[in-house]
């Protein structure tokens, strides 16, 4: 679904990504982990076409990124979603309907079918009872669900989430992962999740990629969990103590 071949990128004099090679297969739930400044968000921006690589090739759905036009196949929940203007007077319905703006296209108006899609996406993330509430009045976890619904409404085949659980309490994080798991297994949506929360993520992800300028690890959660603290410390560039959740 996404293929990166020898991708490198730098900001001014600083190398951010060096020779990245990896592939996200269809149906995967890939967790992307790594230290702050390790290049995770840059990698996402490269995949979304917001930045251009200095070197290497990116293929989306088998097409070179510069020829790729079907952006509505990709949903994106940004790291910044949570820091939106809380006073913005938009209802949940209005926010989710924004996910269809590009798909509907210029000079066209939403139809009844589009409205049904919006309501369905809201229902899918369990926010039906808040449909006409202002988004600023909701909790962090609920707002995050609304942003997922905004990405789901255009029926993407791939959903990219950049640290979506920052500032969300533990219980809601757990519900959030269950929602992602359902989307992945029942709706067959491929997921790429950037997170620091490796504990919960390893319970649900099918693949894990560890990034710190270069790709340090790519494998399944079992292999990731079996890594020693010395190996993890080498990836992260500082001592790491692995904490696991016991349920």
Interatomic CA distance for residues 33 and 227, integer angstroms: 14
* Pick 64 or 219: Cβ nearer another protein: 64
Does 155 help bind another protein (rule: CB under 8 A)? no
- Positions 70 through 109 that interact with another protein (CB under 8 A): 71-72, 76, 78, 80-81, 84-85, 87-91, 93-95, 97-99, 101-104, 106-107, 109
- Positions 42 through 71 that interact with another protein (CB under 8 A): 48-50, 71
Residue 6 Cβ vs another protein, minimum distance, rounded to whole Å: 24
Q: Among all chains, which residue has been given the structure tokens 């519900």?
A: 175
Give the number of residues in contact with another protein, rule: CB under 8 A.
35
Say if residues 81 and 167 touch (Cβ distance below 8 Å): no
Both tokens of 140, joined, read 């962090």
Nearest to 5 by CA among 58, 68, 60: 58
* Pick 48 or 206: Cβ nearer another protein: 48
Mask 107-126, x = binds another protein (CB under 8 A)? x-xx----------------
Residue 80 Cβ vs another protein, minimum distance, rounded to whole Å: 6
* Pick 80 or 128: Cβ nearer another protein: 80
* Pick 24 or 47: Cβ nearer another protein: 47
Binding site for another protein (CB under 8 A): 48-50, 71-72, 76, 78, 80-81, 84-85, 87-91, 93-95, 97-99, 101-104, 106-107, 109-110, 132-134, 150, 154
């Amino acid at each position: 679904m996404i293929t990166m071949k020898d991708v490198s990128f730098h900001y001014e004099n600083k190398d951010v990504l060096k020779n990245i090679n990896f592939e996200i297969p269809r149906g995967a739930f890939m967790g992307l982990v790594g230290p702050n400044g390790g290049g995770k968000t840059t990698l996402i921006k490269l995949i979304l076409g917001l930045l251009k690589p200095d070197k290497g090739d990116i293929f989306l759905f088998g097409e070179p990124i510069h020829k790729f036009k079907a952006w509505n196949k990709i949903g994106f929940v940004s790291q910044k979603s949570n820091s939106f203007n809380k006073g913005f007077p938009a209802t949940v319905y209005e926010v989710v309907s924004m996910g269809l703006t590009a798909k509907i296209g210029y000079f066209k108006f939403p139809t009844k079918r589009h409205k049904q899609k919006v309501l369905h996406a809201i229902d899918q993330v369990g926010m039906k009872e808040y449909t006409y509430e202002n988004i600023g009045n909701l909790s962090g976890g609920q707002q995050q669900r609304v942003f997922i619904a905004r990405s789901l409404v255009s029926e993407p085949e791939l959903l990219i989430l950049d640290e979506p659980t920052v500032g969300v309490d533990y219980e809601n994080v757990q519900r959030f992962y269950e929602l992602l798991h359902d989307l992945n297994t029942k709706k067959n949506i491929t997921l790429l999740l950037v997170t620091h929360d490796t504990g919960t993520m390893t319970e649900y992800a099918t693949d894990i990629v560890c990034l710190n300028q270069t790709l340090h690890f790519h494998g399944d959660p079992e292999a990731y969990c079996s890594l020693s603290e010395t190996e993890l410390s080498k990836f992260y560039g500082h001592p790491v103590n692995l904490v696991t959740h016991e349920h």
